Structure 1
């Protein structure tokens, strides 16, 4: 689509998740099943190693104007449907009250609280604050705890996860440098599923309790490829190199617009941004065409701006009037008007 230029110096500094992983490994099956029942597959992300060379290379191809990756002749972007399928968490139950707090304090609660359900809740909050939204290293910040309160029947986490991922990538690209503060583990797990030059993920999508993330973690092959080699490879990526529909993605409905927006607006924890799923219909096995994206570049705003409450209200109302395409399984193709 559009040409990108300029090197972005992006930091992928993460919280140390080893103590979280050790706690998880020490839990018995009953406690783990309680967690899975409430929060689904987040713990599998603890086993996704961050390939910093690959991640920094990926960041060079983020296209802020279209909120998508542009690799050579290929456009790709993680979608609401894909992240929902990966995490298996379209709905999450409401939580008890909790505010901004240090990991040390949270760890003490996880290890000492007499109520097993409360220990599970605090562990989930820690995963969200330290791994999914790692804004303040060593702490779970207030914006994350506020989202955690609202994760109920009418609020899902995936739109916020995507919003913060897109906003952080865009901010780093525009500034030419910065620290990525989204969920790097989930973004890499998504990328592995679409990239044919990495070991193919073996999936059993129709098995009961099938977990895409569990399969991805088991299939990842650690490779030591320099960042410049990744950049050269991604610059020349062609359609034949891409697994357009992720092997764990079952055909279904595709959310492509909300209300009067020609795209999907996403509310994050600190701001909002839009993305256009119609740009990547091939990820759903559908024929690709040139979509309307007018106004998409103006869709991003922060919650500190003067009129942000009005805009948040407009987006919330728009999500009550969604439009969806019914996905079918066909060979990915493009219309004659589509320009690679």
Structure 2
């Protein structure tokens, strides 16, 4: 396909499972209440050949995967069902104007100077080894908070190898206030794919397992494994996939490339077998793309281009307004409060 493959960061799943086993029943219930249905991701194996092939078919201009003449993309509604968090709640906001070192120090119950030395020695990141030391010394309640921080910092929004961004403490604090992070996962997925295709950043900074489950649920022969009649905490796509992942194909990268290049509409379940939502937000105020607010940036996407996923005939896609809403919160200009406020109202 040309160009290097997308870089996949391995999450410390074995360690996180060990931490989970050390949490009290009360802490486990509290953690599960915050992370929705994402815990089984610790047991899901990433099919690297699939993910790397899939990234090459992403179109930055449309925020969709394009297979021949057909488009497919994760939508807000699909990801909210996967994650188990409703779309109506207030959104997580980016860490603009936040002292990330102080916030992380308070979160971990360590001194700011001590943490500052750790971050300086690790190029501004917090290594998993330091979190592990904090976890061992923590009280029962604090262990639950540190588990949440590591889960989001390494499983959901991986930053770099063996270390997480200090600003993840800001996100977890908001998650503990019941703010919606599903929107953020979708945005960071899109941003990672766009930066990969534009040769800006080759690392994937969103949950690969979630993208993998979403894609396979739309493929005939794989989607059959994820047929769910009634969604619940004991019956949902991630858990179903975890239990049946041994039956999913583990093709080589080149085999997935060939499959995606030659994809036929008859090979897709456009409406995933677990997806029961009948309505979707296809536009914003009747026109244009739908704006999405993320943790490191904002972006627009075009769900009307994939209306076929909602059992609506997919006709000619609407006109594009490329880069209408794209904002990078990591750039030199930190004055994005107005943009965040505007997107929160949409």
Question: TM-score of the superposition, structure 1-length normalised?
Answer: 0.81
Counterpart selection for 1:19 from 15, 31, 50: 15
Aligned equivalent of 1:215: 240
Which one has a larger percent helix, Structure 1 or Structure 2?
2
- Deviation for aligned residue 1:161: 1.1
Contact 1:72 1:235 (C-alpha < 8 Å) held by counterparts:
yes
Contact 2:193 2:204 (C-alpha < 8 Å) held by counterparts:
yes
Counterpart selection for 2:71 from 60, 69, 75: 75
Question: Is residue 132 of structure 1 aligned with residue 156 of structure 2?
Answer: yes
Contact 2:91 2:181 (C-alpha < 8 Å) held by counterparts:
no
When residues 149 and 7 of structure 1 are mapped into structure 2, their CA distance, relative to the original with a 3 A threshold, is same
Aligned equivalent of 2:338: 313
Q: CA RMSD in A?
A: 3.0
Counterpart selection for 1:39 from 35, 41, 62: 35
Aligned equivalent of 2:294: 268
- Deviation for aligned residue 1:47: 1.3
When residues 130 and 177 of structure 1 are mapped into structure 2, their CA distance, relative to the original with a 3 A threshold, is closer
When residues 203 and 115 of structure 1 are mapped into structure 2, their CA distance, relative to the original with a 3 A threshold, is same
Counterpart selection for 1:250 from 263, 267, 276: 276
Separation of aligned partners in 2, 1:211 and 1:126: 24
When residues 252 and 142 of structure 1 are mapped into structure 2, their CA distance, relative to the original with a 3 A threshold, is farther
- Deviation for aligned residue 1:265: 1.7
Aligned equivalent of 1:302: 328
Bigger CA drift: 277-286 or 297-306?
Answer: 297-306
Aligned equivalent of 2:263: 237
Separation of aligned partners in 2, 1:22 and 1:63: 39
Greater relative CO, 1 or 2 (CA 8 Å, sep 6+) = 2
- Name the SS for the 2:186 alignment partner: helix
- Deviation for aligned residue 1:56: 1.0
Contact 1:92 1:152 (C-alpha < 8 Å) held by counterparts:
no
Question: TM-score of the superposition, structure 2-length normalised?
Answer: 0.80
Separation of aligned partners in 1, 2:293 and 2:75: 14
Separation of aligned partners in 1, 2:56 and 2:164: 28
Counterpart selection for 1:198 from 214, 219, 222: 222
- Deviation for aligned residue 1:157: 0.8
Separation of aligned partners in 2, 1:34 and 1:153: 12
Contact 1:80 1:162 (C-alpha < 8 Å) held by counterparts:
yes
When residues 192 and 65 of structure 1 are mapped into structure 2, their CA distance, relative to the original with a 3 A threshold, is same
Gaps of 5+ in 2: 93-102, 109-124
- Name the SS for the 2:298 alignment partner: strand
Contact 1:93 1:153 (C-alpha < 8 Å) held by counterparts:
no
- Name the SS for the 1:20 alignment partner: helix
Question: Is residue 106 of structure 1 aligned with residue 131 of structure 2?
Answer: yes
Q: Across the two proteins, how many residue pairs are aligned to each other?
A: 315
Separation of aligned partners in 1, 2:6 and 2:155: 17
- Deviation for aligned residue 1:263: 1.3
Separation of aligned partners in 1, 2:293 and 2:26: 34
Contact 2:127 2:163 (C-alpha < 8 Å) held by counterparts:
yes
